[in-house]
Structures are given as structure tokens and as C-alpha cells.
Structure 1
């Protein structure tokens, strides 16, 4: 059980017991709570902080925690029915803006205690560089001017670091608050509301949600084992009039495909002929399982066709919301302007901490540990699938990323299966949210990154097999 879920369990237990205490009465000491629940002092502190945030307890440094003197009044019930009209009444000629975050939330939701997370989108805490992050944050806090306003585009040293891999200078780099923020900014900058945006099919649900929230129409372009199909990409540009194509050339989410060498130039040539941008989401750059990786697509682009999205969140921690947009030409000014309007800039302490992290000797060691940890977990999941569910096991294992894309038998009810799996104690992601239009077949996406290791993965696959068996009965 992770610290957050442990703290939640302690807080829930104390919440049920508060009526035993009079208003203003002192609760048991932190040491007593540590002994009682068998958790760390940090977990107890987080539980009490959660109750304090709800107004149920008051903490006094050096004195302890007390039940709040007054009960929280019941919230007033108000009639908000009018909002249903206000949120949907639009100009009939305007593009509808649908904000559907369900596909993203399914990967962000923390499973209940005891449930094995095959649906996560981030590294397990055991793979995150928690000590290195803490040390980097502490060093950053001591940097001169750490709390001063940063340059709008980001710290020059950090922009240089991001730009080096893409072969550009800092002028072509804009620091963002993570990859999702970069993607949202790019789509708003490059496509007008109501227009089409081409996306791989299947694709990352967060891209679909961002596009629809901006009033764009996602148009699918099928993907095979070698990435997006260039022939269908050219057809889609011609039929839709789109001026943007969103893709993930490296370890694509969810298929794990890597864009084949011979297709890289074709994709760029097709987009350039259409007068369109290619938004390259390079989220998995530091999630390889060992071996060499192809260079970012932007390195093959001398014409400013590619707008590159980089992120450090996936290989570190969900809370290190640092990414970058990299582009050549006047489009950078558009990207910069939209970010300024939305959020001004990325907080300087976070940028300083990122510089401390990637400049430390611990950084390359961490990346090697991530590669080894993901490779071990990938092999365990593939092996367990071949043992328990051989008809679902992939023929080849991906060389990077953190998930497998499983083709289910025709006629399988994805929703029923995911619900049955959850009842069996394993959380998986249904394939339907990854398709911008009708899905050609039922799928599951299962992740191995947010697990404790091979033993947990083997048990999770066993539970998934039980769920499938129960569904067939």
C-alpha cells in the first residue's frame, strides 16, 4: 500500500471515531497513532493534515491534534439546474466543445487498497527517483533568486537542455507545465475551432480530450506495427482539409509501435505537401528498455513542419510537471502567447529543481534503473500472459514504454470485462476510449510500470484470467 492510500485509511478510521471526542478535546498522540495503525509518522501526519483541511481537527505545533471546536455546518443545497442550459446552449454554427476526461481519469484514478494497478500511466513509486528529487528540490531552494519570476519562455539553461536532444537552440524551446499542457497549447495554437485534426487510431485519450475541448474534430488515421500508415495519412489530409497531425512516433500509446525508418520521411513530406503541422508527442523518450532509439522526428525536419512535445514527467514523477514545446519559425510566438494567456509561466522553483535533477550524477543512474525495471516488468507480464492467457499475449514485446495492447476475442464486452477484472482485484483500461471513432475490435491496455515487480504482475494476470473465465461462464 502506498503512503497516500495508507494515510487515507488512517484518516477514514479517525473520521469515524471523532464523535468519541468532545469539541476541543485532544486526540491520541502521533506516536500512539503510529503504534496503533502500524504506519510511519509521515503517514499519520498526512492523515491529520487531511482531517485538518476538512475542518474536523485542529493541529497545534508541539501540542498535538484536537477535535475542532465547532462542527462543520451542512452545505446549503442550491438549485443549479440552470447550468445545464448555460453549458449547452451554443451558436448552432459554432463547433461543440466537449470536455470528456473519462479516458484520462481512468489512468489517473488510484485503485482501492489491494487492487493491482494495470491501468496506471506513471512509474511505480519504487521506480521514481524520490531521493534524487528531494535532494534536487532542496538544492534548488538555495539557489540565488529561486523564487524570482522566471523568463516567460523558461530558464535558458533548461531550454538549452531540452533543445540539445532535438538539435535546436534555446530560442526554439518553450518550457511548459508537463506534456499534457504542451499538447493542449499546441492544438489550440495550430488549429481553429471547428477544424479537423488528424490523429493516429488508436491514440492517447488525453489528445482526444484536448482536441475536443478546443472545439476540434479528431479524424482517425490507422496505425499498424510500423506506426501510422502514410497512404491513409495522405488520404485523410485530402478528405478533411486538416492542417494538424498528432502522432507518437516512439512507443506509441497504446500500441507500442515505433514509426519505421522508411515512413519518417514520408510522414513529413505528406504533411508539408498539405501545408500542415506534425505535433510529435515524444513522451516515451526516456522509457526505453535498453538499446539505441531513433532520433526525434524533429531532427529530420528542416522546414518547421514538426512541433515537438517533450516531457520529464513519465520517467520521474507525476508531480514533476515539466515539459517543453520545440518548434521553428513564427509558430513559436503563437505557442508562447497562448501559454502566457493561460498560465503566465512555469514556476521557477520547479524549473530550478529540474535543472538540479538532470545535472546530478544520479540522473543517468536513474535512467538505467528505469530501463532495467521496465524491462523486467515487461518480461514478467509477457511471460505471465503466455502462461495464463496465451491467446492474448503479444507476438513480440515492445522495446520501450510501459504498456501492452491486447486484442480481445471478437464479441468481448470491454466494459463488462474491466468491471469483472476490478471485482477480481486488478484494474485494466478498456480499449474503446483510445479510438477517435468506431473501434474495429475490442482491446485492453495493460500497464506494467505502476507495479511492484514480477510477483505482483504474475498475480495480476492470474486475476485477469479469472475475470475472463468468469465472464465466459
Structure 2
């Protein structure tokens, strides 16, 4: 039987339902099959269509009935305003990068790479294999799978100079995504009401996590080569902060990578101030024209708290990351994670380890970097051709994003809304500033789906720029 057969059954039953009383029982599937000469599959398809239309409701083991119309009643949530005694956070609601856009829109607002850039076959195979192991039915250690801990630690050891003792496997704590790690680090090492130095602009999720923990943010301007070390030292001195959150490699949103001089100078300041550097290495696997050089590889005494996620390079479905910390700081972070989520799914950990130790992983990363370079340059060409008034002040050497400055005086939020009405989703730059923005910006994800639509995106950006100018 075809879909047309199911459609005829749906049409006949809609006429019957129109005259039936709410709660009336529909003819049985067997009766419908006999009346319409239909197969069981066709009758079931018709029932699903009626259910999707909201006309019927099925009761397993009893039958299918005309849906009862429930009285319309508006809910009153006004009481909640008095019950929520915690102050309303400055950063409320979802980020623009998390919102769902119009289905046919060109989507350059997301914070994740397109599906075709990910190792889909490796991930699917790894999940199948992991489901067949003991990890599928046993509890994982709170600190994580020892094998996965050792893998994360070995990545740092490979980059460490001979005169630095690298972290051991036990120093790596496996967590469910880097966002949860940020919250634990801020709670365990900074604390409510205490200051934290933070680059500006920086990852909006770090701003949100700090705010939710009650941490006071102290912005430090950061440019193409990172922050000015003198400004970092001054901020430590004036604020009394004992920690600095930063993304030295392919920063989100700018794509900047700290110079070696900046890295060495900031590490020296952190050591002298007896403070922590919270190094968020979110784009470790996303180098294009440069390779990551984690600062934690040069840290001997536990000043660097290192955070690395596999979400962007393996799969958003595998929320697996690691915090590397040593000394009492490690124990505090572990205690916070245990209180927050107990442990990370062993199946996800086993699958993640399977992917990153597979012989095809290195080959995948090489291909991904080539694709990122191609998409980055393709989007840059589209902007130069169709939207020359928009400025990309620094071509990112890695990561997923272009940080685009709008003409002075542009309302970034209105600019984003105007793009959306034309079928283009982009993210306003205001979300990446822990204080007042230094100018009007938008962020574009060059790793998005359908790069063949980048020229159309450039044309829309040019049209909106000219309309607002």
C-alpha cells in the first residue's frame, strides 16, 4: 500500500471524528484493514498522521480514541518572582549561538563545526564497541577512566621541555564538557565574591559560569598577540585576584594566539604573584596555520589549571573533557565535580578514548584542518567581495570563527536582526565582552554547514551594512 492509501484512511476517519463525541473509540485496526483493503503498516501510518494532527490519542492495550478537548486555562507564574530569592543574573537566557534559527537560514552563528567535518564513522563505531564493554553497566571512577586520564596527560608530556616534570595521569580529571569544568574551577579556586582576571573579549560561557558562581570579573584587554603582560600584572596588583582565565591558543571569538614572549611573561607574573592561570585550550585540535603550544607544558609547580575538551573535534554528542591540575587544587576541583555530577558516563569515556587512539584519528585531524582553512578563506573572500566595509582585523590561525568589526556607530543587535530577516543567522559580539564592548562586532562561524552559501552570506552582510550606513 502507498501513502495515498494511508491518506484515504485519514480522510475517512477525519469525517467520522468530526461527528463523533470526544472520547469515542475508533474502529479497530483489523476493522479498518477490512474496510479499506489496507495493510497493517498502512493503517498504523494513518493512525500516526491522525495523532500528529492532534485528533486522536492511543491508549496501549485499550484502543485509539477521539482526543478529548481540554479546557484552555492560562497558567499563572507570577508567584515565582517572589520565590526566586537569588538575584537575576546579568547574563540571562540562551546565548545567540545556542538559539535555533529559521530552518532555511544560512547559519553562521553556531559554536560548533558542521557534521561533515567530524569523524562520524569513528564515533559511531566507537560507541558500538563501548556499548559491548563493562563500561555499559558499571560505575566509572569519580576522577575518570585511568586510560583516558593517561591519554590527556600524555598529550601534555609530549610538549613538555626536558627540565619540566609533566603532569601524571592522576592529575587529569575527566569531566562532562568544559563548561562544567569552568564552574568547578571557579567555585573551587576563586570563590563567591572574589576577583578573577579575564581576557576581553573572551568566551561567553566563561563569563556566564563566573557570574553563576558569584565571581567578580576583572577584564584585561587582549589583542592579536594576547594581553599586555604589564596590564596583567597591574590587574593582579590592583584587584587582589589570584587567578587569570585565558585562552592562549585560538581564542574564542577572535582566533588570536599568544606570542611566545607573551606566554613566558604571563607565566612569570603568575608564578611571582603565586596565582593560577586557568588555561582553556578549547581549540587544541583546530589549528590551521599554527599548532597549539599549551602553557601547562611549561608549568612545574601547579600554577596552570588546564582545560581541554573533545566536543568540537570528536562530536558534540560526546561531552568529554579534562581538567589537569596538581596539588591541593586538583583535590578541590575533584571534590566539586563529585558533588556536582558524581562521574562521567563510562560509555562516553570509552568511546572518546577509542576515537582518539584509533589509527584514523590523525588522518581525520589533517583533513579537518584542510577543510577549516578552505572554509575560512572562502568566507573571507566573500566578505572582501560583497561586504568590504566589514573588517576582519586578524585572520585567525586556528579555531572556528571570524571576529568581524562593524562600522562605528552600528547597533550590533539591530544588525543581527536585519541579517536574520534576510535569512542569515550571525552572533552579536556583545556576548563576548565581560564589560562594555570596545566596539560593534559580530562573530561568524566559518566551519558552518553549506560553505557554498558563503557568497550569499557575504551579499546579505553587504546589503545590511549599506542599509544601516
Q: TM-score band (shorter)?
A: 0.7 to 0.9
Match of 1:41 in 2: none
Give the CA deviation at 1:384. Answer: 0.9
Match of 1:446 in 2: 444
Q: How far apart are the structure 2 equivalents of 1:30 and 1:363? A: 46
Give the CA deviation at 1:114. Answer: 1.1
Equivalent residues in 2 for 1:224-239 (5 A)?
Answer: 224-239=223-238
Match of 2:8 in 1: none
Aligned-residue Cα RMSD (Å) equals 3.1
Using structure 2 for the length normalisation, give the TM-score: 0.84
Match of 2:163 in 1: none
Among 145, 150, 153, the alignment partner of 2:140 is 150
Q: How far apart are the structure 2 equivalents of 1:418 and 1:68? A: 47
Among 442, 453, 457, the alignment partner of 1:456 is 453
Using structure 1 for the length normalisation, give the TM-score: 0.83
Equivalent residues in 2 for 1:167-316 (5 A)?
Answer: 167=157, 168-290=167-289, 292-316=290-314
Q: How far apart are the structure 2 equivalents of 1:100 and 1:55? A: 41
Relative to structure 1, is the Cα distance of residues 245 and 395 closer, same or farther in structure 2, using a 3 angstrom cutoff? Answer: closer
Give the CA deviation at 1:55. Answer: 11
The question of 1:119 aligning with 2:109 is answered yes
CA contact (8 A) 2:135 2:347 kept: no
CA contact (8 A) 2:314 2:352 kept: no
Relative to structure 1, is the Cα distance of residues 227 and 451 closer, same or farther in structure 2, using a 3 angstrom cutoff? Answer: same
Q: How far apart are the structure 1 equivalents of 2:183 and 2:16? A: 49
CA contact (8 A) 1:175 1:325 kept: yes
Report the secondary structure of 1:107's partner residue.
coil
Relative to structure 1, is the Cα distance of residues 107 and 31 closer, same or farther in structure 2, using a 3 angstrom cutoff? Answer: farther
CA contact (8 A) 1:193 1:215 kept: yes
Equivalent residues in 2 for 1:15-414 (5 A)?
Answer: 22=17, 70-71=67-68, 73=70, 77-88=74-85, 98=89, 100-102=91-93, 105-167=95-157, 168-290=167-289, 292-394=290-392, 396-414=394-412
Give the CA deviation at 1:146. Answer: 2.9
Give the CA deviation at 1:79. Answer: 3.5
Give the CA deviation at 1:180. Answer: 1.0
Relative to structure 1, is the Cα distance of residues 79 and 306 closer, same or farther in structure 2, using a 3 angstrom cutoff? Answer: same
Q: How far apart are the structure 2 equivalents of 1:29 and 1:131? A: 36
Q: How far apart are the structure 1 equivalents of 2:59 and 2:456? A: 41
**Residues paired across the two proteins, number:** 430
Alignment deviations for residues 83-128 of structure 1 (CA, whole Å, 9 cap, x no partner): 212324x6xxxxx5726244x5311222211111111100112212
Q: How far apart are the structure 2 equivalents of 1:372 and 1:74? A: 58
Give the CA deviation at 1:20. Answer: 7.1
Report the secondary structure of 2:312's partner residue.
coil
Relative to structure 1, is the Cα distance of residues 197 and 237 closer, same or farther in structure 2, using a 3 angstrom cutoff? Answer: same
* Structure 1 stretches lacking a partner, 5+ long: 1-17, 37-46, 91-95
Alignment deviations for residues 169-227 of structure 1 (CA, whole Å, 9 cap, x no partner): 21101000011111111111111211111110011110001000101111110011101
CA contact (8 A) 1:97 1:214 kept: no
Report the secondary structure of 1:340's partner residue.
helix
Q: How far apart are the structure 2 equivalents of 1:449 and 1:193? A: 37
Give the CA deviation at 1:133. Answer: 1.1
- Between 140-149 and 388-397, the greater mean CA deviation after superposition: 388-397
Report the secondary structure of 2:443's partner residue.
strand
